[in-house]
A and B are shown apart, each in its own frame.
Chain A
Amino acid sequence: MAEAAVGARPARRNWLMAIGRQRELTLVAIMFVAGAGVSMIAPQFLSVSNFSQVAVLASITAVAAIGEAIVIITRGIDLSVEAMIGLVAYAVARSLELHALDPVAAVAMGLGIGLVLGMVNGFVVAVLKVPAIVATLGTLSIFRGIDYVIAGPHQVPLAGLPAGFSDVSIADVFGIPIFVLVTVVVVVVGMVLLRSTRFGRQVYAVGSNPEAAAILGIPSRLVVFVAFSLCGLLAGVAGVMWVMEFGTINGTAATGMTLAIVAAVVVGGVNTLGGSGTLAGAAIGALFLGFIANALILVGLSQFWLQAIYGVVILVAIGSDQIIRRNVQRANTRSGAR
């Protein structure tokens, strides 16, 4: 009896573990199945233009989510990311409106501002040793405050941007939107960085066991500092993309984005306790959320449902992660005992 039960269980566990390990595939599968349902109600869902629109919008969240994922893998969190995106977006748009910079210089400045803001977060967390949640809740307020002070009630109109600047968001190479290509490049570079470099392995080490990492002589504070800096840099990229996508920018740009970004990371299977997760997962998580938002509109549900669904998606994602983790642990302890 007992033998049979033990023999029967691992099959189920292996299946669960397979899902746990392949969060990216699970999300893609859910999107396929749900997508089939949505397309029956709204046939326009399957059009190429709709797909590319969803992917372009999701790219902005995805790029920021990749930076957030690096921070979360080190056991941190960056709640200030929306304020960094907003501040970069306004600074870039305003400098273009004033003809102070040419487009290339403005983009470079945007990335630079993002990097500096990320370094500020990294400094407060890694050097001043303020817990990440407190530090970035504080800088969320500070960066947004600076944005408000600079912008005042002013709004940069689409017409204020140089001709062609916002065309980048609809441009494509061989049919693939440039924003999607940017995201793919960021994912590939990021994954190579995390998988194949010393820094990347240190990121996972610091996140999975800070004490052990310290004993091994890993400069964990430097790793955390660099992770926050990268998050800022990628928020800068997202800020520039925001200007290209929306054109009309005021001091409140990107308000509330942090929630979608953290949701994308969590849905993408990054462990919120640090130490595991992939950047591709975070990007696919962003696509998944964009897909839900799009499906909601096409099915005819009101925009007001979006927030609630994001909340449910976050809870389901962390809940299912936990169930899988417990099953895996139980399977491991049992196989270890035998």
Chain B
Amino acid sequence: MTGSTRSGTGLGRWTRALARWETVLLLALLGLIVLGNSLSPFFLTPGNFSNLVAALMEVAIMALPLTLVIILGEIDLSVESMAGLASAALGFMWAAGVPLQVAIPIVLVMGAVGGLLNGTLVARGGLPSLVVTLGTLALFRGMALIILGPRGVSNFPPAFTELGFGHVPGTVIPWPFVVFLALAVVLGIVLHKTWIGRQTYAIGRNAGTARYSGVRVARLRISLFVLSGTIAALAGVILTSRLSSARADAGQGMTITAVTVVLLGGANIFGGSGTIPGTVLAVLVVAVMQNALRLASVTVEVQSIALGLLLILSVLIPSIARQTRMAVDRVRRRRRQSADPIAGEPAI
């Protein structure tokens, strides 16, 4: 509050820009790149960039709509199972002779229906999204297991596996990264430049106020869960393509990484704040971190510990920063009050 009165001064603007979470992420990213480069001469090669990005793209794609869901004040834990269900359904249909041009749209519609189930239970049923999506986390995975059982389907045509495995011709940019960037741009514009985005923030800050201000809260909640389900199914298709195999256990464990990425990107788990650029930067930070750890031959097990720590720290650091800022403000206010007791009076 005291900051807004000083917004004109150059110094205030600079400290605020530095204090932005995205800046912190950018600095962390640069630091990790320097670190990675010192760990291995292969780090900054084009081939490694392609590896680094490809391994995380399904999670990254899921994290984008999840950002909107979390800003809304909800959560969708079922995304990893929806990806698994999409993979299983795609494999099942392909094995049954359904052409992929037909099967992929069906899978995406299935994702939308799954999201509709989540959204309806949360928005119309008034149930907590944490428990609803924990239920559908089990339900969707169970359906994937029922459809495909323990077998894998792997005789996909090269044109399809190219989608997950190939690069944009003449570059080292994998196709899934292109999908991710395109989706980030679209959702970034929707969230930051349109009424949909403004209403999303409004619901996340205070759903009751938003409703009394004429926001159709239930409709937007349902729409965002549908979006999350559809994109999770898309991530499942891409995962199937990248591994050139459809399995019922595809995507297991991805939810925790996706949630980590979104929270690391600066979104508040209670809703009301978060940005798409933040999530994109967080994806890059996690990708570079995992890659650097791998180059330093740190085992996958230790990486799991690092991810858990990162998740907790991504909430802890901003809250410590906020408390420090509040403490500093309080000291400043008190100092100003003692210097000019009359000017300080109305503030109380």
Contact = CB atoms under 8 A, between A and B. Distances in A.
A259 B137 contact: yes
Nearest to B128: A272
Contact of A138 (B75, B143, B248, B308): B308
Contact of B308 (A77, A133, A139): A139
A134 B146 contact: no
Interface in B251-286: 256, 259-260, 263, 269-270
B311 A138 contact: yes
Interface string B296-337: 000111111111111110011001000000000000000000
14 contacts: A124-B312, A130-B316, A131-B270, A134-B312, A134-B315, A135-B315, A145-B305, A149-B305, A307-B139, A311-B137, A311-B138, A312-B135, A318-B135, A326-B126
B142 A318 contact: no
Contact of A130 (B125, B128, B149, B312): B312
Contact of B312 (A138, A308, A311): A138
A137 B256 contact: yes
A310 interface: yes
A148 B149 contact: no
A259 B134 contact: yes
Interface stretch (A55-63, A94-102, A169-177, A298-306): A298-306
Contact of A77 (B130, B149, B270, B309): B130
B140 A311 contact: yes
A311 B308 contact: no
A131 B137 contact: no
Interface residues of B, number: 46
B135 A128 contact: no
B242 interface: no
Given A129-B319, A138-B312, A304-B149, A144 B304 contact: yes
B32 interface: no
A250 B309 CA distance: 23
A135 B248 CA distance: 29
Interface residues of A, number: 42
B44 interface: no
Given A133-B269, A134-B315, A142-B305, A315 B121 contact: yes
B247 interface: no
Interface in A130-175: 130-131, 133-135, 137-142, 144-146, 148-149
Interface of B: 75, 121, 125-128, 130-132, 134-143, 145-146, 149, 248, 256, 259-260, 263, 269-270, 299-312, 315-316, 319
A266 interface: yes
Contact of A314 (B135, B140, B145, B305): B135
B139 A135 contact: no
A304 B309 contact: no
Contacts of B269: 131, 133-134
Contacts of B141: 307-308, 311
A135 B127 contact: no
B188 to A, nearest CB: 24
A251 to B, nearest CB: 8
Contact of A145 (B131, B143, B302): B302
Contacts of A131: 269-270, 315
Contact of B309 (A138, A266, A319): A138
Greatest chain B CB density within 10 A among A129, A141, A302 is at A141
Given A138-B311, A149-B299, A149-B305, A318 B127 contact: yes
